[in-house]
Structure 1
Amino acid sequence: MQIQYINEMLNIPELQVRQIQSMVTEELHIEAIPRSYKQCCSMCKSDQNVIRKGSNGMRIVRHLPVFAKKAFLHVPSIRLFCTNCEVGFGWSYEFVGSKQRYSWLFRSLTVEQALGSTAAHSARLQQLPASTVQRMHNAAVPLECERIEKQVWTEAKEMSNLVLGVDDFAIRKGHTYNTGIHNLKGETMLDLLPGRKLNDLRAYANTHPDFLLLNPKAVVMDLAQAYHTWISECFPRAIRIADRFHVHGYVIDSVQEVRKTVQPMLSPRARAYLKAHHRLLNPPAESLEEESRTRLEMLLTFSPLLRSVWEWKEAFSTWYDCSPSFSVAKLGFERWCEQGERMDHPAVRSTLKTMRNWNIEIVNYHQCRWTNATVEGRHNRIKAFQRRHYFTRNRSRYKAGILIECNRHRMFGG
């Protein structure tokens, strides 16, 4: 292959490839020299009085793979001298840092692989010591997190009709939680704050003025009172929306509670069949395959009450999907509540009490149709991150890692 094509493949404008020194099974060694003859003095910022004073030998720099081989660039370590300032200095290459053995592009690739998995995995891919990859990772994460934070917050402040999502996830389930703030419209995670109690949320708003500068059209949350109180204090004009996933979960739970009361009164065979296939009661009927629909129909024949509650649950899904406007949705929600009241079952009454307490936030979905579905997906990423990093003890590094993990599509200028 001719030298000019290797120049294009390396994509390092400041270098000119001279020759390929060696190419073995796993390694490719390329000799290159700077295209310029001299550089500006670091003191006077001029190259007029700069002269070359020889070389200290060759620097060997690991670069991106070429032809699926490890590529090493051999570049001269040129000595320079400024006769005006009477100072000596070494040649500074843009593609690699001072006294570094790995190019910036190689470091970026290695860190990106480590962010998606672990330092040990990236080290195996690049055939490097894991400690080297970990040092690259530790150096890159704070800078990358700072860049991403600045970018996503600037977008959120400038975005019209901003829609925020607020939800918590467990560090240690039942004990310790974090709360994430998400830009649903921009598909980014804005920030991570410790705790989920009202005092924690208020403290965050007081210490982060940028948060109060946002102007959201709507905020999507679950039915935790602390979130709704906090958002009504920070953004009184924003539409507060109860997340559809969490609201629908209350209705599904009531169906399962009715199933548990019906189950003991059935014959042993019917009881075993209902217990084995009880999860078929949860999803919408239209999403089931033909075989599953047949089994579901069998379950519903066991009890008229179970069928009524299941139809009530299906009507709720239809109300969410098919209400054409906010005013029609309000009427439809009231009719759905009346349908549930006619069943007279403790589990249904408990669910209806919750629904009526939050009826405004639930119906508000039809003013601004957004859910926290993407937030739940990010929670899966966060849980995987926590398992990979064994719940990092350093809070700033833990937060930086999660923000990068959830905004991975914005990494390295992307």
Structure 2
Amino acid sequence: MPLQYINEMLGLPELQLHKIIYMDAHQVHLEASPVTDKQPCPVCHSEQYVKRDGRNKLRKIRHLAVFGRKSYLHVPSLRLACSRCSVGFVWSYEFVGPKQRYSRLFRLQTVEQALGSTAAHSARMQEAPASTVQRMHQEALPAQSERLAQQAWRKAKTTEGLVLGIDDFAIKKGHSYNTGIHNLRGETMLDLLPGRKLEALRTYARQHPDFLALNPKAVVMDLAQAYHTWISECFPRALRIADRFHVHGYVTQSVQAVRKSVQSTLVPRAKAILKSHHRLLNPPADFLPEQSKAQLDLLLSFSPLLRKVWE
């Protein structure tokens, strides 16, 4: 195949191919050079006073596969000098970063594969070192994270009947708590802010106008007073909903507190039965098998107060 068609397949208009250095069943090595003779000076941004000042050894750059083979581009590392600014610099290629051995297109393809699976799988697909692919993945994460965050915020702003979720969590038990903001309809996390106290929440709202620009129909959260105060200030028209997980937890705690107070007043036999089967008081009766329902009815018969609170 003529080199001009190979050049089109590579998608690198800044280069012109000169020859195929080596090719076998697994890889192909191509020699190329820049199409232009000069580059602007990085200081004065002019080509008028720039001249070539020699070259270093060839750079070998891994690029996208060609004909099912790994491709390597051998390009010159040209030294340039600007007589006006008295500075020297090296030719900057658009298709590859400084001092890198993998082209931008190759890195992009490899990272996309890693995001869809794992770095180890992408390394096997590209026949590249797993440590190299892992490094590419880590370097690309900030940009990918920013892109996905912007996408999530755009979706939240245009969602009809937007429902937000506000919840606190600690990455590790005993650590300080953070607050997560979620788009429950879009099933995406919008942001994560440190702390869960009211002042920290108000500071976040002041510093993030995109959050205040949202128009949620409802906001789901736990029963923490700080969250309810914050949401009522930011979105006074939004319906505030206490999520059932936390409500059920508080109800269960109240029932168990009454159980403990009643338990101490019972005869030893009833006290032992109530203590050993106290977990039957937690789930709704509809979810219990028949045998457990009978056992639950026995527990409730020990105290009218316990039955009244449970019901």
Which band: TM-score by shorter chain? 0.5 to 0.7
Is structure 2 residue 164 aligned with structure 1 residue 165? yes
Unaligned runs of 5+ in 1: 267-345, 352-414
Distance change in 2, residues 1:258/1:9 (3 Å): same
Distance change in 2, residues 1:109/1:265 (3 Å): closer
Is structure 2 residue 212 aligned with structure 1 residue 213? yes
Is structure 2 residue 185 aligned with structure 1 residue 204? no
Residues 20-62 of structure 1 deviation map (CA, whole Å, 9 limit, x = unaligned): 2222232221222211121112222111232223332311111
Distance 1:245 1:8 in 2: 58
Distance change in 2, residues 1:165/1:259 (3 Å): closer
Distance 2:174 2:288 in 1: 25
Higher Cα Rg, which structure: 2
Residues 312-363 of structure 1 deviation map (CA, whole Å, 9 limit, x = unaligned): xxxxxxxxxxxxxxxxxxxxxxxxxxxxxxxxxx99x968xxxxxxxxxxxx
8 Å contact kept, 1:19–1:32: yes
Q: Which has the higher contact order (CA 8 A, sep 6+)?
A: 1
Corresponding residue of 2:259:
none
8 Å contact kept, 1:162–1:215: no
Distance 1:18 1:175 in 2: 61
8 Å contact kept, 2:212–2:234: no
8 Å contact kept, 1:49–1:84: yes
Matches within 5 A, 1:206-355: 206-209=203-206, 210=208, 213-221=212-220, 224-225=223-224, 227-241=227-241, 257-260=285-288, 262-263=290-291
Corresponding residue of 1:61:
61
8 Å contact kept, 2:61–2:72: yes
Identity %: 55
Distance 2:32 2:161 in 1: 51
Distance change in 2, residues 1:138/1:265 (3 Å): closer
Distance change in 2, residues 1:264/1:244 (3 Å): closer
Distance 1:263 1:175 in 2: 42
Corresponding residue of 2:275:
none
User: TM (normalized to structure 2)?
Assistant: 0.67
Distance 1:265 1:45 in 2: 83
8 Å contact kept, 2:219–2:238: no
Question: Match of 2:217, SS?
Answer: strand
User: TM (normalized to structure 1)?
Assistant: 0.52
Distance 2:165 2:220 in 1: 5
Distance change in 2, residues 1:62/1:262 (3 Å): same
Distance change in 2, residues 1:192/1:79 (3 Å): same
Q: Which has the higher strand share?
A: 2
Aligned length: 265
Distance change in 2, residues 1:144/1:260 (3 Å): closer
Corresponding residue of 1:7:
7
